[in-house]
Amino acid sequence: MAFHFQDRRRSYLEPIEPLLYAVWALRVCLINALRSGDYGILVQYKRLRDLAFVLWFQTLNEHFLRFESRTTIPDLVAAAHGTVLDLGPGLGNQLTRFDQHRVEYIFGIEPNAAFRPALQTQIAKSNWTDRYTLITAGEGFGSIQGDEKPWSMLPRVWGELVKPARS
């Protein structure tokens, strides 16, 4: 049996590839911020982390989409109707899967505010602009905290957003 160095190297590195992309994304975001004169990023690790996560997720998004298409997620999203609470919409991958005729309104709660520009673009592309309210960390109804867990937010979201919208 011949020694296949490239195959062996790939088998060792493949499981850690996402981590290597994460380190790359942190480095790129830090360098970009420093080059633009944003030296505050050095003491704002959460903001750096959030920016890097968006870059990482955008870079690997096609893999997430491919994986999700093999699960029950597309069927589950397509079955949604009425008012929908979209927790952690990220880049808005699921927006095209919602049935425009069955879903009346969507409330999207994204704890990472760095996703906002990409998500707003996807909302417009998918024709949800008039029926989508996006709330990101640090804004909205008393603002959500980036480390606040979605399940702990549900009573507040229902009482302050969804219930009044349905009345």
What CATH number does the domain located at 73-166 have? 3.40.50.150
pLDDT value of position 111: 84
> What residue segments make up the domains of the chain, in order of their start?
16-68, 73-166
Residues pairing with 84 in the sheet:
106
Q: Which long-range contacts (CB under 8 A, 24 or more apart) does 129-132 make?
A: 131/103, 131/104, 131/105, 131/106, 132/95, 132/105, 132/106, 132/107, 132/108
With a CB cutoff of 8 Å and minimum separation 6, the contacts of 50 are 112, 113, 114, 146
What's this model's pTM, rounded to 2 decimal places? 0.73
- Per the listing, tokens 């309104």 go with 105
pLDDT one digit per residue (tens) for the chain, 167 residues: 456 878 887 788 888 888 999 999 999 999 999 999 999 999 998 899 999 999 999 999 998 899 988 999 999 999 999 999 898 899 999 999 999 999 999 989 888 889 999 999 999 999 999 999 888 876 544 445 555 555 666 666 666 665 555 55
